[in-house]
């Protein structure tokens, strides 16, 4: 049987989370320093460890079938690939920054300036939209030192924690693009590969649903059951069992992360006791 080739970043901001995501789908593979490829033990995929900037190109050409890459790198590359889903991790922004001591009023202050960046496409689009004439200096790395060595007046680079800007005496003045990791694919996968991708997506979806949901167990007097059940619809309907204690029941259900604390307060106010919340590893429905 063929294997689905999955490209992930070899070393950098996305690597660890990409591997974590694969492992959470119960797919394990040998890893180790300097490895370029690795075959999973228990699932028909092969992992390719690449520079993130090269991933969109490899996917467009079909050298790799699917890949995990930042939207910043993907959009800048302008490669033709399919985006399967956003993954919600490695969030960052592409921003323009200038030396901290300089005053800045508006984007007009960038007129006539020179800006160093590894993202010329995204930057020129932004400058055009804002009718700014600036000179773009394309450099491939260590963009943050450009103003200090007199190469450019400003930079346009990825900011995540902000510590790189801070340690180089720069301040963020414009945010031009928001990014997170996405799963992308070669648009013309064979049927066999698409089947493997579907299997992978099924696991991925279960893991992601589980992350957003918790298992809840509580005891309640029978007269508050209606109220509590209405607050906890569960996937279908909660399980209710009588307790040994007369007039009391135990309720089992699942609860969503987004309104979790509000719901808990209401459930408690309705008379629930001994509320127990547990993580869910996989959720399939």
Q: How far apart are CA 131 and CA 233, in angstroms?
A: 52
Q: Which residues contact 253 (CB under 8 A, 6 or more apart)?
A: 215, 216, 232, 233, 234, 238, 239
Check binding of 169 to ligand PRP (CB under 6 A): no
Instruction: Give min distance, CB of 139 to Zn ion, in A.
Output: 13
How many residues bind ligand PRP (CB under 6 A)? The answer is 12
Which of 209, 283, 210, 200 shows the shortest CA–CA distance to 25? 200
Stretch that binds ligand PRP, among 159-167, 227-235, 261-269, 274-282 (CB under 6 A): 159-167
Check binding of 12 to ligand PRP (CB under 6 A): yes
Q: How far apart are CA 49 and CA 38, in angstroms?
A: 8
Instruction: Give min distance, CB of 143 to ligand PRP, in A.
Output: 6
Are the CB atoms for 213 and 283 separated by under 8 Å? yes
What residues numbered 121-140 form the site for ligand PRP, per CB under 6 A? none
Backbone φ and ψ of 264, nearest 5°: -60, -45
Q: Annotate each residue in 243-272 with x if it binds ligand PRP (CB under 6 A) or - if it does not, as one string.
A: ------------------------------
The smaller minimum CB distance to ligand PRP, of residues 93 and 194, is found at 93
DSSP assignment letter at 174: E
Q: Annotate each residue in 207-246 with x if it binds ligand PRP (CB under 6 A) or - if it does not, as one string.
A: ----------------------------------------
What does 158 interact with, of ligand PRP, Zn ion, none (CB < 5 to 8 A by kind)? ligand PRP
CA torsion through residues 84, 91, 258, 206, sign: positive
Check binding of 160 to ligand PRP (CB under 6 A): yes
Q: Exposed/middle/buried for 179, CB within 10 Å: 0-12, 13-18, 19+?
A: buried
What does 161 interact with, of ligand PRP, Zn ion, none (CB < 5 to 8 A by kind)? ligand PRP
**What stretches of the chain show up as alpha helix (H) in DSSP?**
15-24, 55-61, 71-77, 120-129, 163-167, 191-211, 225-231, 260-269
Are the CB atoms for 65 and 197 separated by under 8 Å? yes
| Nearest-CB residue for Zn ion | 52
* Chain positions contacting Zn ion, by CB under 5 A: 52-53
Instruction: Give min distance, CB of 184 to ligand PRP, in A.
Output: 16
Instruction: Give min distance, CB of 164 to ligand PRP, in A.
Output: 3
Check binding of 161 to ligand PRP (CB under 6 A): yes
Q: How far apart are CA 24 and CA 263, in angstroms?
A: 28
Q: How far apart are CA 74 and CA 216, in angstroms?
A: 40
Check binding of 164 to ligand PRP (CB under 6 A): yes
Instruction: Give min distance, CB of 80 to ligand PRP, in A.
Output: 22
Judged by CB under 6 A, the residue of 76, 153, 157, 174 near ligand PRP is: 157
Interface residues toward ligand PRP, by CB under 6 A: 12-13, 52, 143, 157-164
């Amino acid at each position: 049987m063929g294997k689905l080739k999955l490209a992930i970043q070899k070393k950098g901001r996305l690597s660890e989370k990409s591997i974590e995501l694969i492992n959470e789908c119960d797919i394990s593979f040998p890893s180790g320093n300097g490895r370029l490829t690795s075959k999973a033990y228990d699932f028909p995929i092969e992992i390719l460890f690449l520079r993130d900037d090269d991933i969109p190109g490899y996917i467009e050409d079909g050298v790799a079938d699917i890949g995990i890459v930042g939207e910043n790198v993907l959009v800048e590359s302008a490669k033709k690939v399919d985006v399967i889903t956003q993954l919600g991790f490695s969030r960052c922004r592409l921003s323009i920054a200038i030396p901290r001591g300089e005053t800045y009023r508006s984007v007009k202050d960038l007129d006539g300036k020179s800006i160093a960046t590894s993202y010329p496409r995204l930057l020129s689009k932004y400058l055009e939209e804002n009718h700014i004439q600036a000179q773009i200096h394309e450099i491939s790395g260590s963009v943050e030192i450009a103003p200090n060595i007199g190469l450019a007046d400003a930079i346009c680079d990825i900011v995540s924690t902000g510590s790189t800007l801070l340690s180089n005496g720069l301040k963020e003045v414009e945010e031009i693009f928001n990014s997170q990791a996405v799963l992308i694919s070669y648009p013309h996968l064979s049927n066999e590969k698409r089947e493997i991708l579907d299997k992978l997506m099924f696991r991925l979806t279960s893991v992601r649903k589980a992350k957003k949901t918790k298992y809840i167990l509580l005891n309640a007097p029978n007269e508050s059951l209606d109220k509590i059940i209405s607050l906890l619809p569960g996937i279908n309907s909660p399980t209710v069992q009588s307790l040994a204690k007369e007039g009391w029941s135990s309720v089992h259900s699942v609860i969503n992360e987004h309104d979790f604390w509000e719901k808990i307060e209401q459930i408690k106010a309705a008379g629930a006791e001994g509320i127990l919340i547990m993580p869910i590893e996989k959720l399939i429905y």
